[in-house]
Structure 1
């Protein structure tokens, strides 16, 4: 969603929407890894994906959401699955960091 769209939502509903995470993986905080990984798996890891292109060959809104998260716009199911796989890797990395930090606090 654009900045203007997030602002309109905030004024209308009091929502606090955040923009998609577009940073490189090496620059992400654990929370950003969790957000982006969760988004990628939720959108592109579904068992049956909705169409990624319309009848005219243009990307659908589902496909265009990838651009807002710094990913290439998928045109095929395989491309969408690559984004979902990246999301799974981000979530796994987040959990490793979280478990490591939690383990260090015990004792």
Structure 2
């Protein structure tokens, strides 16, 4: 299952194995792994670049509105690990 350590990245998020495991357990799911490519190497307007920009905008807003002051500045908080992984 995707909850096991093998499907999770130490820095937060799912590995390709974890995403595949989730899709196998939930048919019809379109879960994908993070776009971890450096933004300067992504072609502007590409599917991955748009997906990354959309995720970063959404997650940064969630960080501002739904994260406690303590976790907002904690580098090991899940929200901050995720934003780092996506290069936000």
Common topology (TM > 0.5): yes
Runs of 4+ in 1 over 4 A off after TM superposition: none
Answer 1 or 2: which has greater helix percent: 1
Which residue does the alignment assign to 1:40?
56
Gaps of 5+ in 1: 72-82, 84-107
TM (norm. structure 2) is 0.59
Structure 2: give runs of 5+ residues left out of the alignment.
1-13
Q: Following the alignment from structure 1 to structure 2, what is the Cα–Cα distance between the partners of residues 64 and 25?
A: 17
Count of residues in correspondence between the two structures: 69
CA RMSD of aligned residues (A): 2.5
So what's the TM-score if we normalise by structure 1? 0.50
Highest CA radius of gyration, 1 or 2?
1
